[in-house]
Amino acid sequence: MPTYDYVCDACNHSFEIFHSITEEPRKKCPECGKMKLRRLIGPGAAIVFKGSGFYQTDYRSESYKKGAEAAKKADSVPKSDAKPKSSDAKPATASTE
């Protein structure tokens, strides 16, 4: 339900009311009781960003980007070009039975 701003032209009392769009605008002031209530035209709803800012939390940090780029470069080396080191190879074991 939308919020509507009202002001009384008789006593200058201003307030907000939550009510349906289809409901008729209020006419009677709750403060003085006179029929001088007027609904104001407002700017409408606004988006409020709370906290330190969406741009700081929605985008990756520079250090993360550098680490991801380094990892991508390391993964891009084709495995067929990578040769195993001689120390990585398992020594052949002879079975004596």
Question: Does 91 map to a domain?
Answer: no
Residue 96 has pLDDT above 70, yes or no: no
pLDDT in tens, 24-35: 999 999 999 999
Question: Does 57 map to a domain?
Answer: no
Question: Does 83 map to a domain?
Answer: no
Compute the distance between CA of residue 49 and CA of residue 3 in angstroms, rounded to an integer: 19
Compute the distance between CA of residue 97 and CA of residue 92 in angstroms, rounded to an integer: 16
Residue 86 has pLDDT above 60, yes or no: no
Angle at 70 between CA 64 and CA 71, to 5 degrees: 90
Looking at residue 9, its pLDDT comes to: 94
Question: Does 76 map to a domain?
Answer: no
- Number of compact structural domains in the chain: 1
Question: Would you say the pTM of this structure is higher than 0.75?
Answer: no
Residue appearing with tokens 């039975």: 97
Question: Does 26 map to a domain?
Answer: yes
Range(s) of the domain holding residue 20: 3-39
Residue 10 has pLDDT above 90, yes or no: yes
Looking at residue 12, its pLDDT comes to: 93
